[in-house]
Chain A
Amino acid sequence: MRDVTLSEVEQLRAEAGAADAVFEMDEATFRALYDRTARALWAYLARITGSADLADDLLQETYYRFLRSRSSYESDAHRRNALFRIATNLAHDCRRRGLRAHLVAIRDDELTAAIDVAAETERRTDLARALSHLRPRERAMLWLAYAQGSTHRDIASVVGVKAESVRLLLFRARHKLAELLRTERPGHGTKAGRHHV
C-alpha cells in the first residue's frame, strides 16, 4: 500500500472539514436521525412509487437534500416531516419526468403471471395493485395516516394541502382503496362479511 504524505493527510482533513461545513448537521446527529427514520422512509418511498429500486435511489437523494437544506428544526417530528416532504416531492418529480413507478406500468396479465401462490404474496400484490389505481397523493396520505400514524397537520405539511382538507381527502382515498381491495379479493373485507360478530 502506498504511504500517504503529510500534505495529502492535510488535504483530506481540509476536504472533510469543507464538507462538514456544507451541512448544518454533524455526522453523529445525522447517524442517529438516519437510524430512526431510514427504514420507515424507504417503506414510504417504495409504496408511493411502487418500486423498490426507485426507493433505493430516492432515499439517498432525500437525505442529501435534507442535509443541504440548512434549515433549523424545532423537534424530531419537524425533521421527520421535512424528510417525508422532500421524499414526496422527489417522487412527484420522478413521475413528472416520466420515471413512472415500475409497478404502475405493469399490465394486469404480467402482474398476474408474477403472483406467487403464497397467501402473503397474494395479499401484498392485491394491495400493490390497488394502490397503483390511486393517485400519488392519495397513496401518500393513506400511508402517512395508517402506516406512519401521522396527524392531519403533519400529513398536510408533507403532501402540501390544507390541514382542514385532510379529513375529507383521506376519507375519499380510504373509500376508494377499500372498494378496490374488495374488487381485487371478493372475499376480503369487513363489509364482505369476513369479520363476523
Chain B
Amino acid sequence: MYECDREQDVLDAVAAGRWPERCDDDLRVHVNSCGVCADLADVAGVVVEDRETARSEAHIPSAGIVWWRAQLRAREDAARAAGRPVAFIQGVAASVAVWLLMSLVRALPAGYFSEWRTWATSLLPSFKFTMADVAHVTATVPLVVFIVVVAWLVLAPVAIYFAAADE
C-alpha cells in the first residue's frame, strides 16, 4: 500500500503549521498507526520548515539586474550566431582560393620557379591539372564568367573580412 485517504489531511495540517501539537487527536492517532501518513508527516514537516529557511537565506539579485544581464547575454549570443556563417564562408572561400592558387602554380610550364614548384607539387594530390585543362574550361565557359568566378573566389574572403571587422 502506498497511499492513504488521509494524506491530504496530514498535508493540510503540516502546511498550516498545525502538525503535530494543534491538530485533531484522531489525526495523530491515525498517523501513529499508518506508515504512509507517518512518512508523509515526517518528510513534509521537515521540507516545509526548510523551505522557509531556504527562502529567507536566498540572496537573489534584483529583477533589473537579471533582466540587464539577460539582455547583454542575448546580444552576445546574437553576435556569435551571426558570426558563425560568416566564419564558415570565410573558411570555405579561403580553402578554395588556396586550392585554386596552388593548382594554377602546378599548371605553369616547367622551368617557372622550378625549385619551390617541385616542393609545392609534392604537397598536392596526385590528380592531373594542366594549362590544357584551364584552356578547356575557358573554351567551354565564357571568359567573362570565368574571370568573375575567379575574382569572387579571391576577393570574397577579403571583402567578408573587412565587413566583419567593421562590425
> Does B bind A?
yes
B94 to chain A, nearest CB (A): 30
Assess whether A67 is interfacial by the CB under 8 Å rule. yes
The contact of A124 among B15, B20, B50, B69, by CB within 8 Å, is B50
Assess whether B121 is interfacial by the CB under 8 Å rule. no
Segment at the B interface, from A81-89, A97-105, A153-161, A187-195:
A187-195
A114 to chain B, nearest CB (A): 16
Please, how many residues of chain A have a CB less than 8 angstroms from a CB on the other chain? 53
Q: Is the CB of B49 within 8 A of A43?
A: no
Q: Is the CB of A39 within 8 A of B70?
A: no
When distances are taken between beta carbons in the complex, the residues of chain B under 8 Å from A111 are none
Assess whether B43 is interfacial by the CB under 8 Å rule. yes
When distances are taken between beta carbons in the complex, the residues of chain B under 8 Å from A194 are 20
The contact of A174 among B20, B43, B49, B69, by CB within 8 Å, is B43
Q: Is the CB of A189 within 8 A of B60?
A: no
Assess whether B28 is interfacial by the CB under 8 Å rule. yes
Cβ < 8 Å to B, chain A residues 105-138 = 120, 123-124, 127
Please, how many residues of chain B have a CB less than 8 angstroms from a CB on the other chain? 46
Assess whether B97 is interfacial by the CB under 8 Å rule. no
Q: Answer whether A46 and B78 are a contact pair too, CB < 8 Å, given A174-B39, A174-B43.
A: no
The contact of B55 among A19, A43, A68, A197, by CB within 8 Å, is A43
When distances are taken between beta carbons in the complex, the residues of chain B under 8 Å from A182 are 42
Q: Answer whether A197 and B28 are a contact pair too, CB < 8 Å, given A22-B78, A39-B58, A64-B69.
A: yes
Inter-chain CA distance A178–B36, complex, in Å, is 10
Q: Is the CB of A27 within 8 A of B67?
A: yes
User: Could you show 6 A-B contacts with beta carbons less than 8 Å apart?
Assistant: A22-B71, A38-B58, A39-B55, A142-B47, A146-B51, A174-B40
- Which residues of A does B touch, CB under 8 Å? 15-16, 18-20, 22-23, 27, 30-31, 34-35, 38-40, 42-43, 46-47, 52, 56, 59-60, 63-64, 67-68, 120, 123-124, 127, 142-143, 146-147, 149, 167-168, 171-172, 174-175, 177-178, 181-182, 188-191, 194-195, 197
